[in-house]
Chain A
Amino acid sequence: AQSVTQLDSQVPVFEEAPVELRCNYSSSVSVYLFWYVQYPNQGLQLLLKYLSGSTLVKGINGFEAEFNKSQTSFHLRKPSVHISDTAEYFCAVLNTGFQKLVFGTGTRLLVSP
């Protein structure tokens, strides 16, 4: 069975600073990888996804992530964060051929002025 680890429960950062949110997964088969964002009192919104092809994936709001198969990682990055990026970020994995998304525990990004 696959699993997802987000080691950082909370990441504080100053506005305009770069940020990296870490995600590691485990799976014995090929996977698809996703990052979702959840703003307060809202549902989850897809930031970006890796299905195949280029390992560097660009998403909405200036976020990007890199799939590293050897390290089984899919870290999320943004070169310069805004106050509005304050939210909970979830990494998720999906075994190819299946539909059950497995989510990490989430990382709360706190951007301060």
Chain B
Amino acid sequence: DAGVIQSPRHEVTEMGQEVTLRCKPISGHNSLFWYRQTMMRGLELLIYFNNNVPIDDSGMPEDRFSAKMPNASFSTLKIQPSEPRDSAVYFCASSLYEINEQFFGPGTRLTVL
């Protein structure tokens, strides 16, 4: 298996622009998680899905952030408009609900100028 795939690996954009991060979970996994990692706040869970349905989005920082999972093999995290404080590494992870172990993707390093 290729593991969790994220794209792009790096994104540099200007403040105010829309940013879309993409994630392909491991085939057969039924849970998907979006995390953000910064030096100041560490690893934060933003949102997670079970069977493509958002279960808990309490970690989404504000309305500028939105996430979708249109099918079992694809999810997006969108920031609109982006701000410099959104600069971070964003990780996607997937798991089988019954097993609990989460498999992480390589991350997307976002820089908002």
Residues in A lying within 8 Å of B, measured CB to CB: 32, 34, 36, 42-46, 49, 51, 90, 94, 99-101, 103-106
Contacts and interface: CB of A to CB of B under 8 A. Distances in A.
Interface centre among A43, A51, A94, A106 (most CB of B within 10 A): A43
A44 B104 contact: yes
Contacts of A103: 42-43
Contacts of A100: 45, 48, 56
Contacts of A32: 100
Interface of B: 4, 31, 33, 42-43, 45, 48, 50, 55-56, 91, 93, 95, 97, 100-107
A43 B56 contact: no
Give the 3 A-B residue pairs with the shortest CB-CB distance, closest first.
A43-B104, A44-B104, A103-B43
B42 A99 contact: no
B87 to A, nearest CB: 16
Interface centre among B31, B50, B102 (most CB of A within 10 A): B102
Given A42-B107, A49-B100, A101-B102, 7 more contacts: A42-B106, A43-B107, A46-B102, A49-B101, A99-B50, A99-B55, A99-B100
Contacts of A42: 106-107
Contacts of A99: 31, 33, 48, 50, 55, 95, 97, 100
A43 B4 CA distance: 10
Nearest to A103: B43
A85 to B, nearest CB: 19
B107 A51 contact: no
B9 to A, nearest CB: 9
Contacts of A44: 91, 93, 104
A101 to B, nearest CB: 6
B91 A43 contact: yes
A2 B33 CA distance: 19
A2 to B, nearest CB: 13
Contacts of B50: 99
Contacts of B104: 36, 43-45
Contacts of A43: 4, 91, 93, 104-107
